Structure 1
Amino acid sequence: MTAKIPGFDYRRVTVAVGVALNAAVGGSGSPVVLLHGFPQTHLMWRHVAADLAADHTVICPDLRGYGDSDKPVDHDGRTYAKRAMAADVVELARALGHERFALAGHDRGALVAIRAGLDHPDAVTRLALLDVLPTLDTWDVLRGTSAAVAFHLYLMAQPVGLPEQLIAGAPDAFFGYFLDMWTNDPAAIPDDVRAAYLRASREAIPSIVADYRASATIDVEHDTADRQSGNRLRMPVAVLQQDWGSALGFDAAARWRAWAPDLRHTTVSCGHFMAEESPAQVTEALRDLFAE
């Protein structure tokens, strides 16, 4: 049986032709949409969502291509563009009765959230981003031996065929590697949740690879156009990030400020899966942002 967030209702909402998202919805009050990362599902928000539901309507979808949401075949390299995935999120909120909403994203979900903020500034009121850099900046800072930490970005950027075949050969080893290496506290992802993540990832290999491949192709085109035109995130933005800068040799806050003039940048000490490892700190940061 698919793991769920206790106390939340589950809905299947059509957001585009041939695409319906699985979404957990709970609480009442001003709307907040929470987007998960890799290799996770909406379950990564289980602690934070339960807390926020005390005074917010909290919407936690599985992204297009992940979890129990639809996984359309990528025929043209654009199906998993963050622009398409961001449009899913805006349509999901609208279908649930919310024209404007606060948005938080982790990892892959943060990239979708950034694109939603750039493309739909009238819909996104506040934006919180967990442990990621914008796509262009990610590629800019990865160089030399330090880029080995992001080997999966290069693997899944390859043309259709090889990445999918290699990952399918040992999916639990591949996806489990990230759950192990990126977690400071293994107890933060209990066995049942880990099993749910691995099951969902095994069933989504082509779409997960397509999502990553888009970030080396069409997403770069879209982000480059924004950088050149001066399009920026107009809403207040909060970023929680591990101390990547000192480890990889760049000023993370400065890179974020180029995209988000109204920025709060915080360095945290937990692992990558901070909504599971340090949910109280994440919830506090979100509440501070949403209360402004």
Structure 2
Amino acid sequence: MSVRLAVTLSAFFLLVTAASAAPVDLGRAEGSLVINGKSTPLRFAYARYDNSVLEGSARDLVVLLTDRQVAPSALANSSELLRLESGGQLVLVEVRLTESGQPVRLAFHKGKKSISAMQFDAKSIVVTAAAVEGTVGIDHILLGDKVVIRVRFRAPIGAGSVSIPAPEIVDATTMFTPPPRSQQSGAHALPRGGGEPGKVWRAYDAALRKNDNATLFQLVTAAAADRLRSDRTVSMKVAFRPRKVEIVSGNVNGDIATLQVRGTALKTGSTATTRIGTVTLKKEYGAWKVDDEEWKTAQSF
């Protein structure tokens, strides 16, 4: 009896193992988005190429993992996707990868709040001319909520852009909340590199590093200039300012622009630390000026 039971159990576990290793059908996903124990299955997968959010790269591969099928007309319309998602009619996880399959950004919504993580697992990613497949995941506390995503997928690669408007960035522990106006419906994404606000911030960054105060004060708002004049720790902040900075994404709403940036901090021993920042720019007398900048350390998941 025990031998028969052992054989039966062995056969069962072999079947489970074989099933878990079976390839995912094209256009399908297997996994879930779990927030505080509430699980939503993710069953469908779509992919398109999109303009890269990283400087020096031509394009990214964007994978959409959803709980239900999405009409082709909606896939081709980022506003419609956002409407369905924010209205609770669609659960969607956007996975942005480089053309070679390296992780760039993972994004989803919690209610009407868009959340993005720049550090997540992306394993066994295989990109061909027609499809992309692999496994992505994250397991972390975000804004006090336990978030777990584990999904295997195999998505056909279509044409055109499917990316939803760039969400705010979340590192291991902190969401960087943009100014209230940037959350309004009038906000739109800036082009790769940050457009004109991006140019101003790069000039500001260069002037700050060179201690070129004449140029620096021309690139900041009046309020920021007052803060700089009274800040006795500017030189120390410059010394520890991240290197190799790049603009990841950005959006603009009227006279306010928000950039999401990242860079590498000074090495401690042999380890380089990635830092993530939020830059706010405002228009004064028709010109973009840097108003505020906040940097935080990105921790590994």
TM-score band (shorter)? under 0.3
Higher percent of residues as strand:
2
Structure index of larger Rg: 2
Higher percent of residues as helix:
1
- Give the TM-score normalised by the residue count of structure 1: 0.26
Higher relative contact order at CA 8 Å, sep ≥6: structure 1 or structure 2? Answer: 1
- Give the TM-score normalised by the residue count of structure 2: 0.25
